[in-house]
Amino acid sequence: PAPGGNPTTDPLDRVRVDAAGQRLTTNQGVPVADNQHSLKIGLRGPTAMEDFILREKLTHFDHERIPERVVHARGSAAHGYFECYRELGALTRAAPFAQAGKRTPLFTRFSTVAGERGSADTVRDVRGFAVKFYTEEGNWDLVGNNIPVFFIQDAMKFPDLVHAVKTEPHHGMPQASSAHDTFWDFVSLMPESTHMLLWQMSDRAIPRSYRTMQGFGVHTFRLVNAAGESQFCKFHWTPMQGTHSLVWDEAAKLTGADADFHRRDLWEAIEAGQFPEWELGLQVFSEEQAASFAFDVLDPTKLVPEELVPLLPVGKMVLNRNPDNFFAETEQVAFCTAHIVPGIDFSNDPLLQGRIHSYLDTQISRLGGANFHEIPINSPIAPVQNNQRDGMHRQALNRGRVNYEPNSLGGGCPFQAGAAGFTSFPERVAEDKVRGSAELFADHYSQARLFYESQSAVEQNHIAAAFRFELTRVQTPAVRARVVAALANVHPVLAGAVAAGLGIEIPPPLPLATDRPMPEYAPSPALSLFSR
Ligand code: HEM
């Protein structure tokens, strides 16, 4: 690290290639005399099998594509840094918060969720907001969305959700839209998705720009300080450019006129020196406070209202450099919720717990084997030293005789770091092993209503109009009716507006689960650490 604790190493320096003005070679470094003509037996004869130059060129081309991400396939990214406003040692030992003014390099990728890699940017969809912090204690990935809650409460349901969201399997349509029967069929049978559905039908799902989106870690995480004390935490990114959306007519026209609208906007702003910035805010609360809330903080379909736990601004992210190479960086970057560093830990949110498995697992096939952490955009600035060896595309040239532990022959083998290393928070858990969900997970509507009522009249009209538009494209009447029945549990005005637009009666509301009022909020002792 440079003075002030600011890491300066750019992992990409090692692999940047600028070949302008250099001689053309094969992949073996052999200079190529003629890059226009294959080797033929006579000018009008067959091509010679021995033309290794042609064969190498075609073979490489034939293998240029890798699988797209199973979700979030379409995205755009940029480099930048996180600057800490204040030292947060009382709350967390995480390296980015070690010192006021400290800068941590990062790479951020924004994405749509449902569409394919070539789909349009301005469709109605959730947006991914994934940040990779390259800290001196390893990479920390905050893999979030622009909406603070999620459709489902348990990782067990994710493959079904995504199968319903993506193109219908028999005809591969629609490419990037929530306007189809399978999506609405699924969510109408999954009342826990109601809160997120309201956000998705709101203007939040058609952002004006990636630069004008909020970002949320969604799950409850833990912060852990050097003494091993822990608080719960929610992460929020707030755009300094303001939070702005398109209106639906603009979004629909842009989808036809410029499929790259958001990609172009981010790229051009950075090229022009208009570096976008987001403030990182934390909602910090204790386990005791969490136990007093009317909702379960392990339920990712719920947010923690800022009236209950205010947002503490702790630093800002600045995106100030476009990638050199879209494929090498934006496409090959591998974010993973399992990438945490000392000072951050998981909660038992059952959606988060499943995510911890899925990202590394999918990347083994997407990026070809177990060594994709060596791809420069993924490789930490912290040294990587362990006994893992071999596998496809291994780059590291690990030296020495010993690659096992314990050993008495190794000499220079890495040693485990003990208390200086990552230590899981020793949460006490003594429960029966069961399938099911906690009682408060059954409240599906009170926060949906809270969100609807927090919107202005114009925004409420947009939500009703979006439900109407999307549902008129659903062909199965029973599916439409089920969605309106769920809305009747949220708000009679909303359900009435959507039902009228569809020309149907409001069906009887779905049976209500628990629907409790919010308790009074007592500020956490940790909050007094902050004056701002
Ligand atoms: C991407 C799984 C829930 C945000 C992905 C990918 C998978 C996945 C397999 C593709 C990764 C890759 O190919 O590199 C899951 C599972 C979930 C879940 C199993 C639930 C159990 C969520 C939630 C959020 C989220 C709740 C937001 C908080 C993202 C983002 C990306 C992504 C932002 C794109 C990362 C990038 O830009 O490369 N997810 N996901 N996912 N997921 Fe999830």
Tens of pLDDT, residue by residue over 224-236, are 999 999 999 999 9
- Among protein residues, the one with the nearest Cα to ligand 1's atom 40 is 355
**The Cα angle at residue 281 between residues 279 and 287, in degrees rounded to 5:** 170
Q: Is the dihedral of CA 187, 193, 198, 201 positive or negative?
A: negative
Q: Which are the contacts of 30, defined by CB distance < 8 A and separation ≥ 6? A: none
Give the per-residue pLDDT at 513: 53
Q: Which are the contacts of 325, defined by CB distance < 8 A and separation ≥ 6? A: none
The answer to whether 86 is annotated as binding is no
- Judged against a pLDDT cut of 60, whether residue 7 lies above it is answered with no
The predicted model gives 199-222 an average pLDDT of 98
Pocket test for ligand 1, best of 66, 70, 72, 152 (most atoms within 8 A of CB): 72
Provide the percentage of residues in the chain whose pLDDT is more than 70: 94
Q: What is the pLDDT of residues 263-309, one digit of tens each?
A: 999 999 999 999 999 999 999 999 999 999 999 999 999 999 999 99
Instruction: Identify the band that residue 511 occupies on the pLDDT scale cut at 50, 70 and 90.
Output: low
19-33, 77-91, 350-364, 408-422: least confidently modelled range: 408-422
The answer, yes or no, to whether ipTM is higher than 0.90 is: yes
Is residue 406 reached through a cis peptide bond, with omega within 30 degrees of 0 on the bond before it?
Answer: yes
- Among protein residues, the one with the nearest Cα to ligand 1's atom 26 is 150
The answer to whether 109 is annotated as binding is yes
Rounded to the nearest 5°, which phi and psi values hold at 230?
Answer: -130, 145
Strands 127-135 and 344-346: unpaired
- Biggest alpha carbon distance in the chain? 89
Nearest atom in ligand 1 to 334's CA: 14
Beta bridge partners of residue 129, listed in sequence order = 110, 144
Give the per-residue pLDDT at 42: 98
Half-sphere exposure of 131 toward its Cβ, with a 13 Å CA cutoff?
27
- Judged against a pLDDT cut of 90, whether residue 508 lies above it is answered with no
Distance between CA atoms of 94 and 116, rounded to whole angstroms? 35
Cβ proximity of 102 and 118 under 8 Å: no
The answer to whether 69 is annotated as binding is yes
Distance between CA atoms of 219 and 457, rounded to whole angstroms? 29
Across the chain, mean pLDDT equals: 93
Q: Phi/psi zone of residue 401: left (φ > 0), alpha (ψ -120 to 50 degrees), beta?
A: alpha
- Among protein residues, the one with the nearest Cα to ligand 1's atom 24 is 144
- Judged against a pLDDT cut of 90, whether residue 5 lies above it is answered with no
Query: Which of the residues are catalytic?
Result: 72, 145
Instruction: Identify the band that residue 521 occupies on the pLDDT scale cut at 50, 70 and 90.
Output: very low
39-53, 241-255, 396-410, 453-467: least confidently modelled range: 396-410
| 56 CA to centre of ligand 1 in angstroms | 36
Instruction: Identify the band that residue 512 occupies on the pLDDT scale cut at 50, 70 and 90.
Output: low
The predicted model gives 312-334 an average pLDDT of 98
Nearest atom in ligand 1 to 143's CA: 33
Give the per-residue pLDDT at 1: 39
The predicted model gives 212-220 an average pLDDT of 98
| 258 CA to centre of ligand 1 in angstroms | 26
The predicted model gives 419-428 an average pLDDT of 95
Nearest atom in ligand 1 to 217's CA: 28
The answer to whether 65 is annotated as binding is no
Give the per-residue pLDDT at 9: 59
The answer to whether 355 is annotated as binding is yes
**Which residues contact ligand 1 via a Cβ below 6 A?**
69-72, 75, 109, 111, 128, 130, 143-145, 150, 155, 158, 218, 333-335, 351, 354-355, 358-359, 362-363, 366
Nearest atom in ligand 1 to 110's CA: 37
Is residue 174 reached through a cis peptide bond, with omega within 30 degrees of 0 on the bond before it?
Answer: yes
Pocket test for ligand 1, best of 71, 149, 237, 375 (most atoms within 8 A of CB): 71
Instruction: Identify the band that residue 413 occupies on the pLDDT scale cut at 50, 70 and 90.
Output: confident
Tokens of 153: 């409460």
Q: Name the 3-class secondary structure at 164.
A: helix
Of 222, 239, 382, the C-alpha closest to 317 is 239
Q: Which are the contacts of 195, defined by CB distance < 8 A and separation ≥ 6? A: 149, 301, 302, 444, 445, 447, 448, 451
